[in-house]
Chain A
Amino acid sequence: MSRVKQRPGALAVHLLLIPVCALTLYPVLWVIGLALTPHSAHLSAGLWPLPAHASLIHVRELLSSRNSSGELIFIRQLINSLVVATATTAVGVTLSVTAAFALSRFSFPGRQLGMSTLLATQMFPATMMSVPLYAILNRLHLLDSLAGLTIVYATTAIPFCVWMLKGYFDTIPRELEEAALVDGATQGQIFLRVVLPLARPALAVTALFSFMTAWNEFVLAATFIDDQTRFTLPVALQRLVGEYQTEWGQFAAGALLVSAPVMLVFFALQKHLVGGLTAGGVKG
């Protein structure tokens, strides 16, 4: 084919991509450098961010840091984040997958209105929602609790997930469901055995989105949670930046630890994500 022709084009693309990559990765390298620089050497002004003598002391300190009552506080907060993000994903995906299927397949009064409302909720920034959410959580006695935070996160994630999944369900041919109907399946069996397996790419995307929403969220968590033992990692990290003194080394180490799970989830779902982006390729 036109390999010869393609080469100059590919070369140009790579010439463009390599500097962009470097530009993107440079700050990340700085964070890694900070995390690996032992106490003695301070924020150096050199161009190359990685230290000559790397040390994991900040990571060790962070992981073994204890609060006044002797608990391993960072580990505790890590678990909090994992619990909240996992529960948000479970609740968010379960509720939105059923809602999206109904919106995609059945016509009922309020369907259009419901979908517009879901979209409208996406217009308000989290900061704006924090006051009413605070009031609601207060009423429900769910302030300062991981359950309350999970509910808040799930409700923020659901509208996006519903739209995303509905769009995907719309691309699954109805004839597949009709075939299953003639084969003897009930609506429930059709949903579980035909539609859900086919929607795996979209489920992966929505699950990732829900997980990341909960994992990275800071403003609401900082507003609703007071007890240090119930902090999620973003809040915990922010508290490392003190008014008088900041443990930059620990902060950087913490930042890396926070990004690790998201990257892992990304890698795990990579295959499905690509599938999700090329949605619509489902054919009998």
Chain B
Amino acid sequence: MTDVALRGVHKSFGENPIVRGIDLDVRAGEFTVLVGPSGCGKTTLLRLIAGLEQPDAGDILIGGKRVNDAPPRERGVGMVFQSYALYPHMTVRENLAFALNLRGTSRVEIEQRVREVAEMLELMPLLDRKPKQLSGGQRQRVAIGRAIVRRPDVFLLDEPLSNLDAALRVQMRGELARLHQRLKSTIVYVTHDQVEAMTLATRLAVFDQGKLQQHGAPLELYRRPANRFVAAFLGSPAMNFLRGRYSNGHLAGDGFNVPIGALSATFDGRDLLVGIRPQAMTLAGPDAAVLRGEIEAIERLGNEGFAYLKTPAGPLVARFDGGGAELAVGANAGVQLAPESLHLFDAVSEEALA
């Protein structure tokens, strides 16, 4: 088992800095997910680890060895590309065997390892087909098979599920998790989908604008986001934010004054950014409501739902129980919030406050 480490890695394309000084440790055997919006540098980071790009500065270490100058084939990595990048002129069998053939593996062993992988990924009936005769999910499995047949130390996966339909994505997500349990190898997985990130990761690394925002276990990041970006990025619907001045258990801003419970005296008179997950902000009757607004949209999920409100404090999303049949767009509604689940951020730096 092999760990991967990045030390002060920079990468620009022309004038555009894409990766801006990243330090990251991926522990051996860990399923690490790099997540962030498009253009945050996560795919570039993966390509840097694979050796498909060269860093402008900094070091890349695989298994403790600096690999900056090693070509991809000497890095012991297997990669699954977003477009799968299966060789269109080869059958599934030939696709799987390609890397082994290049290494001069014996015919018997190639046969055996291809079979092993094909059985694991249920590709046996497809071995003699060409990629164009396969469905998206099947291509996906071949791409994964091609990466694992070589038994690399580190797997790199670049948005492998983004081309699949929703149902298949959920299914493949489960298969990937099982595969990791089985292979116990180090996996670095890139996605922009926070659900994939939360469900698959042993540890999660959130990126924005070429910088690492936070790195840790998914729940830790969800519960204690280091800054507003991470707080807003993880969780669905996204976290609500109220901006105002705190005093005496209330947060006051233009046209609103919300009781948010007693905070430490050091916050008195200070400008704060307060985050509340929609799950902790619920629709409430007139007596309990701390803030009122007009319903702009309603998402009914069946057993619960979310109402999108326009309030004096800005747009907010609040949860409701049940079907929400009594709610109507354009109607007025009040919300209450659970003071114990507030996230406090500095109003200027937007970093989390202890």
Show the binding face of A for B, using Cβ within 8 Å: 173, 175-176, 178-186, 189, 193-194, 197-198, 282-284
A183 touches B146 (CB 8 A): yes
Structural contact, A181 and B81, CB atoms closer than 8 A: no
Given the complex, which residues of B lie within 8 Å of A173, measured CB to CB?
Answer: 83, 85
25 A-B pairs with C-beta separation under 8 A: A175-B81, A175-B83, A175-B85, A176-B88, A178-B50, A178-B72, A178-B79, A178-B81, A179-B79, A181-B51, A181-B71, A181-B73, A183-B73, A183-B98, A183-B99, A183-B102, A184-B99, A185-B98, A189-B102, A283-B132, A284-B81, A284-B83, A284-B84, A284-B86, A284-B88
How far, in angstroms, from A175 to B46 measured CA to CA in the complex?
A: 14
* B107 at interface, CB cutoff 8 A: no
Residues from chain A with Cβ under 8 Å of B99 in the complex: 183-184
Q: Given that A178-B52, A198-B89, A283-B88 are contacting pairs, would A184 and B103 also be in contact in the complex, using a CB cutoff of 8 Å?
A: yes
CA distance A282 to B102 in the complex (A): 23
Give the CA-CA distance A183 to B78 in the complex, in Å: 7
Bound-complex Cα distance A160 to B56 (A): 39
Q: A182-B78, A182-B79, A183-B99 given as contacts; is B73 within 8 A of A284 (CB)? A: no
Considering the chains assembled together, what is the distance between the CA atoms of A185 and B102 in angstroms? 7
Contact in complex: B83, A185 (CB < 8 Å): no
Q: Are B102 and A182 in contact (CB under 8 A)?
A: no
List A contacts of B192 (CB < 8 A): none
The answer to whether A179 touches B102 (Cβ under 8 A) is: no
A178 to B139 alpha-carbon distance, docked (Å): 17
User: How many residues does chain B have at the interface if contact means C-beta atoms less than 8 Å apart?
Assistant: 27
How many angstroms from the CA of A182 to the CA of B79 in the assembled complex?
Answer: 7
Q: Taking the complex as formed, is B77 at the interface, i.e. its CB lies under 8 A from any CB of chain A?
A: yes
Q: CA–CA, A198 to B72, complex, Å?
A: 23
User: Is B85 in contact with A179, judged by CB distance below 8 angstroms?
Assistant: yes
* B131 at interface, CB cutoff 8 A: yes
**Residue contact A181 to B72, C-beta cutoff 8 Å:** yes
Which residues on B sit within 8 Å (CB–CB) of A181? 51-52, 71-73
Report the separation of the CA atoms of residues A173 and B87 in the bound assembly, to the nearest whole angstrom: 10
Given contacts A182-B73, A182-B79, contact A198 B88 (CB under 8 A): yes
Given contacts A175-B81, A175-B83, A189-B102, contact A182 B88 (CB under 8 A): no
Q: Identify the closest chain A residue to B103 (Cβ).
A: A184
Q: Which residues of B contact A198 (CB under 8 A)?
A: 88-89
Closest to A184 in B: B73
Inter-chain contacts of A186 with B (CB < 8 A): 73
- B87–A182 CB distance below 8 A: no
Closest 6 CB pairs of A and B: A184-B73, A183-B99, A175-B85, A179-B85, A197-B89, A182-B79
